[in-house]
Chains A and B, each alone.
Chain A
Amino acid sequence: MKIVTANRLIDGEVVWLGAGNAWVGQVSEALVLDGKDDVAAALAAGLASAERREVVDVYEVDVTEEDGKLVPVRLREKIRAKGPTTHPELGKQAQASQA
């Protein structure tokens, strides 16, 4: 399983490609891709968005499901999805706890 991620150009915020090729701010809302064709299409949509100056650094990320939640496989991507482990009050994890 894969998802596509990037950073928003204007402020560097981490985003993932969601339904309808819209960028979303929480990994739980990312569009899950199975199969090469889906990944290629999502990457193409992401790169087109980068061309429109919405995001930079578009790439794919491996994910798994844990307890019904989408979780990136690599630690680096886990940290991007949550925020610094040393600052639980900052990053996505803070937004998630307020939600």
Chain B
Amino acid sequence: MYRYDEFDQGFVTQRTEQFKDQVRRRLSGELSEEEFKPLRLMNGLYLQLHAYMLRVAIPYGTLNSRQMQKLAHIARTYDRGYGHFTTRQNIQFNWPSLADTPKILEELAEVEMHAIQTSGNCIRNVTADHFAGAAADEIADPRPYAEILRQWSSLHPEFSFLPRKFKIAITGAPHDRAAVQVHDIGLQLTRNEAGETGFVVFVGGGLGRTPMIGRKVRDFLPEEDLLAYSEAILRVYNLYGRRDNKYKARIKILVHETGLEELKADIEAEFAKIRYGVLRLPDEEVRRIEAYFAPPPLEVLPETDGAFEARKAADAAFAQFVAHNLNPHRVPGHVSVTISMKPIGGIPGDATDVQMDEIAAIAKAYGHDEIRISHEQNVILPHVKLADVPAIFDRLVAGGMAEGNSGLITDIIACPGMDYCALATARSIPVAQRISERFGGADRQAEIGELKIKISGCINACGHHHVGHIGILGLEKKGEEFYQITLGGSANENSSIGEIIGRGFSSEEVVDAIETLVDTYLGLRSSKEETFLDAYRRVGDDPFKEALYGTG
């Protein structure tokens, strides 16, 4: 993985020192809260309902065991023994004190981590496919490009005060696992007829109160133009993006209000001006960064393993885990393992310090020291021998992380909601927990098959509800929690925004409503192979509306 050079290390250390001084000046009264708030936000420190919250960047979701151990140490020493993995592949600590934060940032810097640009109107942590560098269907590892974008966007002087935040995602495979079409810029690696690497570019996707699917602006952007083209997009956005209304300030609104063709022409005009300047990516620089992400040496092994097969036949829980939590690896005899952070009835994305330490130990013992955080709030071991899966599974069982539910109905994305978040209008986590309990039986989940439920506790949509096959949005109505359901959303290569099915449901009713939807699907699917989303796309709203509201 990428290692800091002297510039990275100097930059992060300098920022840590600056923030230490800013905290000192706040506590001594030299800075007012009004002056200090934007400074703490630029370092990922929010004030939430019960305490401060520190959001730590995990660039493109990649970390090693030493870094994971550091996160465990921070959870144990400065927080309340746990952290929460987020939909931007980051981690949040919910209880740090302001006084401790400079020390936490110093500790993070020791392992090449920081909280820079995890908040504020700047370019945020670039996200990538969590199976990057491992997936069998991958064209190329997207992380070297994510790292190049990180270096370009870190403290970019021109883009530190954008109209609003700006999110970039990149995927290296045709099957999009990074939700690129719902990002401000989405990049999909591709090859042209000459076999050269480049990007399909989407602009103006996003969720929040005005969800939109990104519009394609380039079928093939050559690798060498990645930064110049990104800079051109950002320049056009920085110049024309609305600053009069924060709810209309994202680039998606600019695309919508200006029109795609006009905006594309603006981007291309800017690009033409800077294309051959300093931002042109030299091939040797891309290859240099790529070398940091060189895969570990993996021996080609038999596609099957006797002990693995025997365990699968004898142990139903293991078989369930194998059926859902393994992803095909490009090297035969290997797999990527999803460690579920969604125990039945548990809190999506939460990990205790003990669990983080255990993940680090497992990664070291069996996973070439590589760990990923997925935007679906799970942890991935990207490079694992098939023959080691039983031993890993046993350790995960002991650590309470062995649920074989990846991609199933209990693998729910949920934002922190009103249990923590100052912006929330309703709770998310308890709804996720109750759905998980309702459908948590192994047979029932497997019978239902792939079904992505995503829950947000307010219209800002951190829980990605718009792109859930079933989306749940928590609102407040007359002082009570109230949940609106959308159907048919998706965040893969065939992205779609879910449609509101009808009037919302109270907290007491919402899990029954989900069960009604699931039962309706089971009753009308053409076969077990037809997923909830496929079935919905085939039959439309009507049967689900009828089942929920009896309108027919």
Contacts and interface: CB of A to CB of B under 8 A. Distances in A.
Interface residues of A, number: 24
B2 interface: no
Contacts of B480: 75
A80 B29 CA distance: 27
Most buried by B among A7, A13, A83, A84: A84
- Interface range, B side: 20 to 34
B52 A79 contact: no
Contacts of A91: 50
Interface of A: 7, 9-14, 50, 53, 56-57, 73-76, 79-80, 83-87, 90-91
Interface string B32-64: 010000000000000111111000000000000
Contact of B99 (A10, A14, A57, A74): A10
A53 B29 contact: yes
Contact of A85 (B47, B97, B430, B476): B430
A75 B98 contact: no
Given A10-B98, A86-B433, A79 B418 contact: yes
A14 B419 contact: no
A50 B36 CA distance: 13
Interface string B70-106: 0000000000100000000000000101110000000
B337 interface: no
A9 B98 contact: yes
Interface string B436-477: 000000000000000000000000000000000000000010
Given A75-B476, A75-B479, A86-B427, 19 more contacts: A7-B47, A9-B33, A10-B98, A11-B98, A12-B47, A12-B51, A53-B27, A56-B33, A73-B479, A75-B481, A76-B424, A79-B427, A83-B50, A84-B50, A86-B347, A86-B430, A86-B433, A87-B419, A91-B50
Question: Chain B interface mostly helix, strand, loop or mixed?
Answer: loop
A87 B466 CA distance: 27
B33 A12 contact: no
5 contacts: A11-B51, A12-B51, A56-B33, A85-B427, A86-B433
Nearest to B29: A53
Contacts of A90: 80, 95
Contact of A12 (B50, B418, B427, B479): B50
A67 to B, nearest CB: 19
Contact of B52 (A12, A50, A85, A87): A12
A87 B352 CA distance: 13
Contacts of A57: 47
